Structure formats: C-alpha cells, structure tokens
Structure 1
Amino acid sequence: MTTITLKPGEASLADWHAIWGGADVVLDPACKPEVQASADAIARILAKGEPVYGINTGFGKLASVRIPDGDLAALQRNIVLSHAAGTGEPMPAAVTRLMMALKLASLAQGASGVRLKTLELLEAMLAKNVIPIVPAQGSVGASGDLAPLAHMAAAMIGVGEIWIEGQRLPAAEGLRAAELEPAVLGAKEGLALLNGTQYSTAYALAGLFEAETLFQAALVTGALSTDAAKGSDAPFDPRIHALRRHRGQIETADALRALMAGSAIRESHRVGDERVQDPYCLRCQPQVMGAALDVLRKAADTLGTEANGVSDNPLIFVEDDTALSGGNFHAEPVAFAADMIALAVCEIGSIAERRIAMLVDPALSGMPAFLTPKPGLNSGFMIPQVTAAALVSENKQKAYPASVDSIPTSANQEDHVSMAAHGARRLMSMVENATAVIGIELLAAAQGCDFHQPLQSSAPLEAVRTLLRAQVPHLDDDRYFHPDMEAANALVRSGAVVDAAAAIELPGVTA
C-alpha cells in the first residue's frame, strides 16, 4: 500500500486521489514547530483576559457571551456534542478518510491553535483505519461543514460510533480496541475541528476522481460508436479545432482520431459514402467532450487549491498573537466546483445516450432495428436505450446548480450559505448514473461493430471489444439483459475500458 507523506499546503491532487483510494497517511514532521507555535499563541491570548471569538466566547449568534476560564474545556466539548446533529446514511468510509486527511492538513498549517497531541490522534486514527461514522446530511456549506465534522470530532472524544476492522462500534470502545486515548479538547480545538470545508471538499474530490474515469471511458465508447455507425473521423481533423483554440476540444479530437486510426471499418466507407455529415452526437464529440474536459480541469484547480487551504475560524497569527475572525469557512468555491462537475457529468451521459439512440434506429445507423438480427421476434437494445434515457433525465434534475441556493441559519447570523455539501454529495450518484449509460453504449457499440465483421475497428478499440466479449457474448436472440449491463458497468467503473485502450494516451483531468 502506498504511503502519502502529507505536506500541509503542498499536497497534489494525486496525493488526495491516493488517500481516497486507501493509501496510508503520515504527517510531515516539518510542520510541528508551526503547530506548536499556534497552540502557544492560544495560551498567550487567553492570558490577556480579553474576549476572543471561539476561544472564550459562545459561537455564532452567541458570540457575545463570555465564557469563564474554568469552563473553556466544557465549551469545546459542548460545541462538538451540540453540533453533531447530522442525519441520513453514513458517509462512505473512503470519503470520510479523505475528509479526515483534509482536516489534518488544514490544522497542521499552524493557523488554527490546535495542539500536536490532537493532530497526532487524528493521524493515528487514519493509520489504524479507525473511521468515524458520519451521517451524510446536515451541512449547508457555511459556517463550514459543521454537523459532519462535529461527528468526526465526536468520535475523537469517544462519543458516537466508528468503523474498525469492518465492525461498527461505539466510539469509546473502538478507540480502546485501537489502543488510542480519546481526546480532551483544549481551548479553540473543538471549534477548529468542526469548522471548515473538508466534508464538501472530500465529496467533491471523490466526484472529480470518478468523473475523470467516466470522461476517458466515454471517449473510448464514443469512438467505438462512431465506428459502429460507420461515422466519419473527418470532424476530428486537428485543423478544425486549432482554429477554435480550446485546449480540451483540441485534445479530445486528437484522442478520438487516435482511437479510430487504422480502423478497417472506417476505411470501408471512406469513398462512396453518400452521407455528407454525421449527427451531432458523433460529429460534435470534440466540442462537447472537450468543453466538459475544460470544465472538469477548472474544478480540479479550484479543489486542489481548497484542499491545501485553511478554512476554519477564527485564524491564529502567531507573529502578534492575534485571532482574526473571517469567513474562510464559506464553501462557495467548492459549491461552484461541484456544480461544474455536475454539469460536465450530465453532458457526458447526455451525448452518450444520443449515440445509443442513433445506433438502435435503423434509419440513422443503417443496421438492424435495435441492433438485433431478428427485430420483432427480439427487442434487442430497445429497453437498454430507455434505461439510458431515464438515467440521463435523472442527472439533468440533479445537475441544477446547488450554489444558487441559500437559506439563512443561526438566527440570521449565518445569512448566506453555499450549499456546497449536497452539491458535492450528489456527484457520486450522478457519476454512477452516467457510468451505467456509458456501459450501455459499450454494449451497443460493440454489437454494432459485430454487424461489420469481418471488418475490424482499430487496435485499441478491438482491445476494448475483446475485453467486453470475454464477459458478454454477442447478442443474437433476446436474453436476460441485466447481467450484461452489470458486467459492462463494472468494466467502465473500474477503469478497465480505459486500460484496454492504453495504447492511446487519453487526456486527463487531475494530472
């Protein structure tokens, strides 16, 4: 298993991808002096005896309430317990681990006033795979992802539940089993743990990573559909795209052209084809998919920046022992990034569904109706296309921007919020829907190419067909279709489709 040395403020998207995939995490010890200096600054701020938000006052609308020094430990415990008010199904463990690592990296930058021993507990929980059970609903994306992060913090103090070695245990019992001591939070620590954008950012990153695999697989199936329909590769000519200058469009056209290079199917209709232009779902792939690629890259840039930032409040500046209250917890950048990913995922599935619809229509494809040798007796791909249409419609509803919504909270103190949390959380289900659409396209495109035998497609596309045919045979007569779809979906989801076409370097999002 890979081990990522987490350098606060300097982690790459590849680092976060590896952590999401299960890599071990160790904190770069070089950050310890700054962490200690920040904790020392808290002690000096308290010694002044002045009211400082989040350190010796109440929270939110209660910020004007001064808390006596003897109650400061109780104050931090109380904010964790009171804010652990999430609901719904638990976060996936992989996303929770990523959230924990993001929080660790943020606190380790020495601007949050958290002690080393508290960070060491979070690091040890990651090392021993002690994962808090965090209800996935309850954050509005400002003031930070309070409820989910509070559930994480609650597990650290021995309250709530955790996963450990596949078992769901009370947090205190799970910590004992891992030989870890529950945290006793010091001044500012409870607030620092539960304030920030790490929940939204973790979900958005997970959605981004899955969207990258989806995008690349859709390039492969789009090229295969083009060959199945005896479409032209002329729209992928680099001269067309150089004139428009969009990087994603240029790279997407290059990839599609390379995927089809050497196809005997393409060569068979290069001369004498009466069609002048293909439908947009074939011809405009570089424009649509290229735009999706550019949007995904912009989202990746935003999320990479956010993942390396500090987003709790107030922030501690040791040079003059100042605690400054601001609004870094507002997750608007994450909300915008999540909305961009959602739009791209929706369009990737939408244009793929149009290719499926084109392939099953004999008037457009020139192949047997619904890609079955005996239409009428057999329905062939009739209903898989309907399923694809249903999934695309569902994604259209989910793609409505979350960032344009807001609802006041905390007695109007927190009067504008980002809604980044559910904007990010919806991404994985959207990718799942779009993955199923691409899986159906893989089946349909491979079936279409079968009708052109003995002519073959290009080497990379034939490698993809061979991969599929090892699990799913050609459809002659109708059979129970669901297992075929599940097998194709798994090949797309796992990245196997992209790997099979590895002779072609496909454009990426996060590299």
Structure 2
Amino acid sequence: MSDSREPVGIGSTPLSIDDIVSVARHGAPVLLTEEAALAVKGMRVRMLAGLDVDGPPVYGLTTGVGDLYDVSVAPEHVSSAQLKMLKSHACGVGEPYPPEVMRAMILLIVRAMAQGRSGVGLGLVETLVAMLNRGVTPWSPGRGSVGYLIGTAHIGLVTAGLGRAYFEGELLPGAEAMRRAGLPVLELGPREGHALISGTYEVTAMAALAVHDARLLTAAADIAAAMSLEALRGNDRAFDPRVQQARPHPGQAATAANLRALLDGSAIVAAHRHHRLQDPLSLRCAPQVHGSVRDALDYAERTVTIEANSVTDNPLFSVAGDELTAHTGGNGHGAPVAMALDVLAIAVTHLLNISERRTDRLTNAHFSELPAFLAAPGGEDSGFMIPQYVAASLAAEARALAQPASVHNIPTSAMQEDHVSMGVPAGWQARQAVEYAQQGLGIEILAAAQGLEHHGTLRPGAGTGAAYRAVRERVAALEEDREMYPDLAAARELVADGSLVAAVEAVVGGLAR
C-alpha cells in the first residue's frame, strides 16, 4: 500500500499482508462494506430462525465444545454459555502479546466473520471494527496456546466489558477502556463467543507480521552481502545472469539481480576484479542462499494470505435454497500456517548464519586483508571483536529456534483434539528468529561499513554507497573503542524499520524482496 493510513476495506476484496501490517502497526482505519454487513445480517437471521430444540445438535451452539461436544446446552443457557466459553479459554500465561499482534487478530476475525459463514450478529463485527478504529487493544498473555483460543478469548472478554485492554497508552479494565473510547459493551448472543475463539486468527496474525518482516530482511541481507563483498575485495563474476540461467530458481535470479544493481559502478570491485579467482561461499553463494530464503518466503506468504482470507470457524453455516446447514469441520486446525512458520524460521536462520560467516571473515585478519577486528592499529583496541561474538550467539540461538514446532503434537481435550498444530509456539519461534536475524544483519552492515573505510578514495557501488551513507547517518566510524551496544541497537533499527532498504532504493530503484 502506498499510504500506511489508507483505509482497509473489509468486503469482497482480499486482505493482503501489507493491509494487515498497515492496520496492526500503523493504525490504518478499517471500513466494513455494505456488502459484508448484508452477508453477516442475512446469515444471522437464517441461523436464529433455524434453531430448533428438536433439530440436530449444532457444535458450540446447542452443545459444549471440545470433548463436551455431545453434551446438550439448554435453550435458555445458549447465550450465557458463550460468555463462559470466553472466560474458560482466557487462561494464557507468560509475556503478553505485543499490541500489534492483538490488532492483527481482531482484523482477521473481522475478515472471517464478514464473509457471513459464522452466524454472528452484525453488532459484534461492528464493535470489533470500532475497537480497531478507536484504539482499544485487548491485552492477552502470549503463551499456552497449542494453535488458537487464548488471545482471541481475551479479545472476546473486552467486547463484553471484561478482561483488560490498552487505550491511549494505558492498560485498563476492559469495561473502562470501552467506556473511554465511547463504545458500548455487548451481551453476547448465540454463537458469538464460540465464533471468536474457534478460528486460526492467533497464529495467522503472528505469521502475517513475521512474513512481512522476513521479506524486508531479504533485501537488507543482499545489501549487507554487497557491502561485505566490497570490503573484502571480492568480485561479482558469480552474479552473472548466465550463471543464474543455468539454475533458474526464481529467488536466486532475483538475488543476483539485486547484487548487480547494488554493486553497479563500484570502483572497488573494478579495482579488485582479478584479486581472487573465486570468493568464499558466503560471498559467492549469496544468490543461492538468499534466493532459497526468497523461495521459501514465497510459500509462506502464499499460505498466510490464503489463510487470512479464509473462514476457519467451526461450524460453518451455508444456505442452499431454504435449507440452512451447519458444517462441522476442521478448518480451525492451524497446520498450514504452523508449517509455514516453521519454514520461515528455518529460512531467516539461514540468512543469519551466512551473515555471521561474512561478519567473521570481515573481522578475521587471517582472511580479510583488513586490520584485525577492524580496529585501530596498536593492539589496545578490540574493535569489532565482540560484535562478532554477539552474531555467533544469535546464530546459535536461531538454530535452536529453527527446530520445527509443528511436529510436536500433544493431544488435548481428553483426546478429542488429538492432533494440534502448535502454531502459536511456531509463531513465537519465527518471530524471535526474525529479530535475531535483524540484529545479526545489523552487525554485518556495521562491520562492512567499517571495512569500506579502508578503501581510501575508491568509490563503492551505487547501492552500497547509499547504504554506507545511511549507516553513517546513525553510527559514526569506529576510530577507537567505545561502548558499542548503542551502535548495535541503531544498526538493528536501521534494518528492522526499513530505513536501510529505503535509502538504497531511493538510489537504485526497487529491490526484489
């Protein structure tokens, strides 16, 4: 999207990952279309009319949930059971979800309900939209979910005036947050509590944000690799299009094209074109490794986009002629997104691993042909010795996070839910792996910029020169030892907030993500 504050419509147009980020992080307003409102109202009328005490049971509506699927709920208790579901499921532990994740969850709930398959009232959907637009963000612990249920239950509590929520930077009781925002609390009716908790909104919210951040990392990784190649007197022969055509993986070709654009016009590369016949793999194989990450992210993004626009409720309602059918199914199983998150964690760990290898080569005078640890001569300064340790530590942790979570199925609900997705654990692992990769690439970029200080008047490439200037706007060259943790934090922010990529793209045009 061209403007992060541009309204996001909820109707027939699919949500993109950029839409989700725009609402979750930047507060873009959400608009419910008339088409969506009519779909919600129409199905609500049909569902309520179809409720019959003598009719077939409807899971989660006239029965309990989980292993209580065969326990009937008396008609007079149908509404009160909905609130009890939210209370019983709001039992997370540990650190809270970041507000951006909770906002993404709400948006995804709205998108699913707006398709008119859940049987909820329009008032619930409109309340969720108003919470997004007026800045009421439910609070929820972030641990304890095997794939869904917990974060969404806390969202539901706030709609009913319970739980807790942030409003204007303050954490308040849910009823007070709603009051200050000018929103009435709801008395949840049939189906509405269960519909809030039975989809894959929790894991998909984490996945959408992680995919967005990982996409940005791929461009930053290409910039880091190009800067390191120049600092280490490498050559660009391995990026020749004819090499890529012989092995036409899309990500590989896109990465090589990025590297050629970044290094275009580099006097440093030109001066050292015959310095080495062949560079080490961490430089020469950037297209193959970074490209594999791009291809993996294509799969993850495709999966998450489909999920964000799906109805993952259970049951789903449909109407054929005059007949209303409640479909009990398994769309709430988070396996597709959980596996995509595991792949994402593996992919960004590869970016961090190869980046750390380049950082080690930049700081290792036995290979770099640069001053030891990029430090001032004399032996009293350690230079970039310890930042490389930091990168190594983060890479080790990321390798642990890259162990798939989705395969660790533990039965729940008295064996009724005997294969769960572990999507939320996979989401936390992917999110942490992305953060480590942001910092590791930031360290490489700092070290590469320091390496470029030793090339005198030789001009870097168009893209690498822009990247160098962006780094120096935030972090001065290291002339003697100083406290480096502020430098590392600034470098991570440069990668994470997109500033580095934006500065380069202003010079060389759009880079493949």
**Bucket of the pairwise TM-score, normalised by the shorter protein:** over 0.9
Establish whether residue 266 from structure 1 lines up as the match of residue 245 from structure 2: no
Whether the aligned pair in 2 keeps the contact of 1:9 and 1:309 (CA below 8 Å) is no
Establish whether residue 62 from structure 1 lines up as the match of residue 65 from structure 2: no
Q: Deviations over 1:392-427 (max 9, x none)?
A: 100000111111110000000000001011101222
Partner residue, 2:209: 206
Residue ranges of structure 2 left out of the alignment (5+ in a row): none
The offset of 1:12, in angstroms, is 2.2
Instruction: Tell me, in whole angstroms, the C-alpha distance in 2 between the residues paired with 1:504 and 1:398.
Output: 35
The offset of 1:378, in angstroms, is 1.5
CA RMSD, 1 decimal: 1.3
Partner residue, 1:88: 94
Q: Deviations over 1:73-127 (max 9, x none)?
A: 1111111111111111221111111110000000110100001111111111111
One-letter amino acid of the counterpart of residue 253, structure 1? A
Partner residue, 2:11: 7
Residues 192 and 279 (structure 1 numbering): CA distance in 2 closer, same or farther, change over 3 Å?
same
1:97 maps to which of 78, 103, 107 = 103
Q: Deviations over 1:31-66 (max 9, x none)?
A: 122211211222122136322221111111111111
2:40 maps to which of 35, 41, 57 = 35
Whether the aligned pair in 1 keeps the contact of 2:97 and 2:142 (CA below 8 Å) is yes
2:132 maps to which of 126, 134, 142 = 126
Q: Deviations over 1:204-239 (max 9, x none)?
A: 111111111222111101100000001010000010
Higher relative contact order (CA 8 A, sep 6+): 1
Instruction: Tell me, in whole angstroms, the C-alpha distance in 1 between the residues paired with 2:486 and 2:80.
Output: 56
Partner residue, 1:312: 313
One-letter amino acid of the counterpart of residue 355, structure 1? R
One-letter amino acid of the counterpart of residue 148, structure 1? G
Whether the aligned pair in 2 keeps the contact of 1:45 and 1:321 (CA below 8 Å) is yes
Whether the aligned pair in 2 keeps the contact of 1:9 and 1:105 (CA below 8 Å) is no
Residue ranges of structure 1 left out of the alignment (5+ in a row): none
Partner residue, 1:79: 85
1:33-432 equivalences in 2 (<5 Å): 33-47=38-52, 49-50=54-55, 51-141=57-147, 145-271=148-274, 273=275, 275-319=276-320, 320-374=323-377, 376-432=379-435
Instruction: Tell me, in whole angstroms, the C-alpha distance in 1 between the residues paired with 2:81 and 2:204.
Output: 27
Percent pairwise identity: 41
Instruction: Tell me, in whole angstroms, the C-alpha distance in 2 between the residues paired with 1:162 and 1:316.
Output: 31
* SS of residue in 1 equivalent to 2:246: helix
The offset of 1:508, in angstroms, is 4.2
Residues 75 and 9 (structure 1 numbering): CA distance in 2 closer, same or farther, change over 3 Å?
farther
Instruction: Tell me, in whole angstroms, the C-alpha distance in 2 between the residues paired with 1:266 and 1:372.
Output: 23
* SS of residue in 1 equivalent to 2:508: coil
Establish whether residue 481 from structure 1 lines up as the match of residue 484 from structure 2: yes
Whether the aligned pair in 1 keeps the contact of 2:234 and 2:273 (CA below 8 Å) is no
Instruction: Tell me, in whole angstroms, the C-alpha distance in 2 between the residues paired with 1:202 and 1:507.
Output: 26
Question: How many correspondences in the alignment?
Answer: 504
Partner residue, 1:21: 25
One-letter amino acid of the counterpart of residue 44, structure 2? A
Instruction: Tell me, in whole angstroms, the C-alpha distance in 2 between the residues paired with 1:194 and 1:211.
Output: 28
The offset of 1:429, in angstroms, is 2.0
User: What TM-score do you get using the length of structure 1 for normalisation?
Assistant: 0.96
The offset of 1:179, in angstroms, is 1.9
Whether the aligned pair in 2 keeps the contact of 1:216 and 1:506 (CA below 8 Å) is no
User: What TM-score do you get using the length of structure 2 for normalisation?
Assistant: 0.96
One-letter amino acid of the counterpart of residue 130, structure 1? V
Whether the aligned pair in 1 keeps the contact of 2:87 and 2:153 (CA below 8 Å) is yes
Moved more, 8-17 or 212-221: 8-17
